[in-house]
Amino acid sequence: MFEFFVHYALGNIPDWLWPALAGGAFVIWFFAGVISHLPQFALYAKLIKPLAFIAMLTGVFMYGGAGVIAVYKADVIEAQHKADIADEKAKAANQALSVAVANNKHLIEGRAYGVRVIIQKDKEKIDRDCAKINTDAWEDYNRAIKNSGSKILTGDKK
C-alpha cells in the first residue's frame, strides 16, 4: 500500500500543489490568529489554527521532498546522457576492433599461404636431405601439439 502511495499517488501529484497547500494553509493560519481575538469566533480559531499549521507543515515538507526529487531527476538525466554517449563510444570501439581483427586474420592467412607456396616450391630441395622423418620424431612432435590445458574455467563448480 505504501509502495503504491509513493510510486503512483505521490509521483502523479503536480509539484505546484505543495507550495499552494502551504501558502493556503498559512493564510488560513494567519486569519485564524486574527479571528481568535474576536470572542464569537475564538472557539473556531482554536480548532482551525492547529489544522492549518499541520497542513502548512505538510505542504512545506512535501515541497522540500519535491525539490530533492528534482535534483535527483536532473542527476539521473545527466547520468543517462553519459551512459548513452558511452554506449555510442562502445559501439564505435567494437566496430574499429572488428575491422582490425578481420584485417589481421586476412593478413595472417595470406602470409601462411605465401609460406606454403614457398614450401611447395622448395619441396624437392627440403626432402632431398630428409626423405623420411623418424617415427619417434613425428610422435614427439604430435605430443607437443596435444599439450592443451584444462577446459575448466574460473567459477565452474563441476
Closer to another protein at the Cβ: 17 or 104? Answer: 104
Amino acid at residue number 101: V
Interface residue list for another protein (CB under 8 A): 6-7, 10-11, 22, 29, 53, 56-57, 60-69, 72-73, 76, 79-80, 82-83, 85-87, 89-91, 93-95, 97-98, 100-102, 104-105, 108-109, 111-112, 115-116, 119-120, 122-123, 126-127, 129-133, 137-138, 141-142, 145-146, 148
Closer to another protein at the Cβ: 38 or 101? Answer: 101
CA–CA separation, 122 vs 126, rounded Å? Answer: 6
Is 57 in contact with 18 (CB distance < 8 Å)? no
Minimum CB distance to another protein, residue 108 (Å)? 5
Residues 6 or more apart in contact with residue 66 via CB below 8 angstroms: 15, 18
CA–CA separation, 35 vs 28, rounded Å? Answer: 10
